[in-house]
Chains A and B, each alone.
Chain A
Amino acid sequence: NAGVTQTPKFRVLKTGQSMTLLCAQDMNHEYMYWYRQDPGMGLRLIHYSVGEGTTAKGEVPDGYNVSRLKKQNFLLGLESAAPSQTSVYFCASSLGLYNEQFFGPGTRLTVL
């Protein structure tokens, strides 16, 4: 099993450009999450999904959109990137509400 994978691993964008980060899990997990990690801030939740076709906002959702068209995939979109979105993005998944979350390797995004 690959667990949780993320593509791409690195990306550099110019202000105003758009992009989509892909998260895939092969563990048949219902719950999926997108976090961002900034220096000295720990991880903060952007959006999450409790099942195929459902999404919800987390702590810092502004400037991001998500979709969960397939159970195994969770996409994070930036429609118009800003330098404040420079961060490391982690995807995670869990079997259920009370289970540990498994994390992907992260995507390092720089917005110039």
Chain B
Amino acid sequence: AQKITQTQPGMFVQEKEAVTLDCTYDTSDQSYGLFWYKQPSSGEMIFLIYQGSYDEQNATEGRYSLNFQKARKSANLVISASQLGDSAMYFCAMREGAHYGGSQGNLIFGKGTKLSVKP
């Protein structure tokens, strides 16, 4: 089973409008972290925002906010006031807690959502 699911392969949004990119995750850990990265056409991976599983408030970073619903295991990215430069691939990723003999904090990525901002 996929640990990170991004159900929207592609999305369009009008410039200056808000857009929500969906992400659901699957883990049995109590301690984990959720990340969003942006990958423009130039290829680099740019960190956007982080939410820890114990954080009570939703994370915000400028125009980015993370709508964290722990019981539903969802961590949707909200981009407010979209700009043309927001056109890119967006990846949701999860870092599970460290396990002896297993995960040491590596990220598990979803397949991404391609966002296109229309002028």
Q: Which residues of A contact B (CB under 8 A)?
A: 31, 33, 35, 40-45, 48, 50, 56, 58, 88, 90, 92, 94, 96-98, 100-103, 105-106
Q: Which residues of B contact A (CB under 8 A)?
A: 4, 33, 35, 37, 43-47, 50, 52, 91, 93, 95, 98, 104-112
> Looking at chain B's contact residues, is the secondary structure mostly helix, strand, loop, or mixed?
strand
Number of A-B contacts defined by CB within 8 Å: 59
Q: Are the CB atoms of B45 and A42 closer together than 8 Å?
A: no
Complex Cα distance, B43 from A106, in Å, reads: 7
Chain A residue contacts of B109, Cβ below 8 A: 35, 42-44
Q: A100's contact among B44, B50, B98, B111, by CB below 8 Å, is which?
A: B50
Chain B residue contacts of A88, Cβ below 8 A: 43
Complex Cα distance, B58 from A87, in Å, reads: 35
Complex Cα distance, B45 from A97, in Å, reads: 19
Q: Are the CB atoms of A100 and B106 closer together than 8 Å?
A: no
Chain A residue contacts of B106, Cβ below 8 A: 33, 45, 48, 58
Known contacts: A98-B33, A98-B95, A98-B105. The answer to whether A42 contacts B110 by CB under 8 A is yes
Q: Are the CB atoms of A97 and B111 closer together than 8 Å?
A: no
Chain B residue contacts of A101, Cβ below 8 A: 35, 47, 107
Q: Are the CB atoms of B47 and A90 closer together than 8 Å?
A: no
Distance in Å: Cβ of B95 to nearest Cβ of chain A: 7
Q: Are the CB atoms of B105 and A100 closer together than 8 Å?
A: no
Chain B residue contacts of A90, Cβ below 8 A: 45
Distance in Å: Cβ of A20 to nearest Cβ of chain B: 21
Complex Cα distance, B45 from A106, in Å, reads: 9
Q: Are the CB atoms of B110 and A31 closer together than 8 Å?
A: no
Complex Cα distance, B39 from A106, in Å, reads: 11
A-B contact pairs, 11 of them (CB 8 A): A42-B111, A42-B112, A45-B106, A56-B104, A58-B106, A94-B105, A96-B105, A98-B33, A100-B47, A100-B50, A103-B46
- Which single residue of chain B is at the shortest CB-CB distance from A50? B104
Which 3 interchain pairs have the tightest Cβ spacing?
A: A103-B45, A42-B109, A97-B105
Q: Are the CB atoms of B43 and A105 closer together than 8 Å?
A: yes
Distance in Å: Cβ of A61 to nearest Cβ of chain B: 12
- Which single residue of chain B is at the shortest CB-CB distance from A103? B45
